[in-house]
Amino acid sequence: MALLEVKNLKVYYFTRKGTAKAVDGVNFSIDKNETLGLIGESGCGKTTTALSLMRFVTPPGRIVKGKIVFDGRDIISMSNEEIRLLRGKEISIVFQAAQNALNPVMTIEKQISEGILEHESITEDEALERAKNQLNLVGIGDERSKSYPHELSGGMKQRVMIAMATVCNPKLLILDEPVTGLDVIVQRQILSLINDLRAKLHLTIVIIAHDLSVIAETCDKIAVMYAGKIVEQASAVSLYKNPMHPYSQALIKAYPSIKGEKKKLKSIPGAPPRLVNPPPGCKFHPRCSYAADICRKKEPIIREKEGHLVACHLN
């Protein structure tokens, strides 16, 4: 059974310049213990999708349609109190660029212990003990538990964020660009930590990235987002080796392979569309070298082909 099912999710930002359809009819599901990667360029709706899963979207944004069923319960119709209890306990998120949001005047063990005390009725000492264990678990020795954030490297701060997000054993962990901005070696270390924790804590994970090559090995399946929609979804291996949507193909060509096979990189011409007044038809057509007449007129629907779900007229 799926742990999380997202059906026809629509999340819009109502701005003075018009309505930005940041998430525009997104469907996916994740089974227990599965890892889903959500990839795409900047502004395509990845973070908005992730925030919706915990009802963290705030004005001018609003979930306007769809269903989010988590562990048999409908997130969208939950009371605020139910959502409060769920956040950090059943579903946790490491926000994009969250390392910078650590409290600069509080030790890291204290910050982790506060998260535990929000959800569990244990003493402060017990919570601090748990925090130390958790720091060990994420590869920061407990001798550093009294460190302040400024004493830690970027990679270590990200470990602290992951420690915080996993300390209450969530069923679902959302990681929004957990390795962006870290150097390649530290990226690898953090991804290997995520793999370890996944096995040890039986986590189900949504991981967001721009670059498929970085997360392909960590994920079971990948959804590629473009302009608020999932344009292709498949197993990680199949998507990486045999991308079908021209956007997925372009995205993969645009990043270097982490395994060192040197190929000429090809940036994707143009920029993602503005979401307030997107082009008609397939939203990728202005940047697609295969675009035909139908692509300019009719929006493709996502269909199954050779084990992939793909939204392209030419596939």
Ligand X SMILES: Nc1ncnc2c1ncn2[C@@H]1O[C@H](COP(=O)(O)OP(=O)(O)OP(=O)(O)O)[C@@H](O)[C@H]1O
227 in contact with ligand X (CB under 6 A): no
Task: Give the integer Cα–Cα distance in Å for 273 and 265.
Answer: 22
Question: Binder to ligand X among 44, 197, 215, 236 (CB under 6 A)?
Answer: 44
Number of residues that bind ligand X (CB under 6 A): 16
- Tell which one of 35, 47, 113, 249 touches ligand X (CB under 6 A): 47
Cβ proximity of 107 and 147 under 8 Å: yes
Q: Which does 171 bind (CB under 5 to 8 A by kind): ligand X, Mg ion, none?
A: none
Residue 42 contacts which entry, ligand X, Mg ion, none (Cβ below 5-8 A, type-dependent)? ligand X
Q: State yes or no: residue 42 binds ligand X (CB under 6 A).
A: yes
CB of 24 to ligand X, least distance (A): 10
Establish if 47 lies at the interface with Mg ion (CB under 5 A): yes
- Tell whether residue 46 is a contact of ligand X (CB under 6 A): yes
The nearer residue to ligand X, 46 or 171, going by C-beta atoms, is: 46
Per CB under 6 A, 278 contacts ligand X: no
By CB under 6 A, residue 52 contacts ligand X:
no
Closer by beta carbon to Mg ion, 47 or else 111: 47
At closest approach, how far in Å is the CB of 59 from ligand X? Answer: 8
CB of 121 to ligand X, least distance (A): 36
Q: If binding is defined by CB under 5 A, does position 52 make contact with Mg ion?
A: no
Interface mask toward Mg ion for 82-101; x: CB under 5 A? --------------x-----
Please list the residues that pair with 38 across neighbouring strands: 208, 223
List 54, 172, 193, 275, residue binding ligand X (CB under 6 A): 275
Task: State the residues that interact with Mg ion by CB under 5 A.
Answer: 46-47, 96
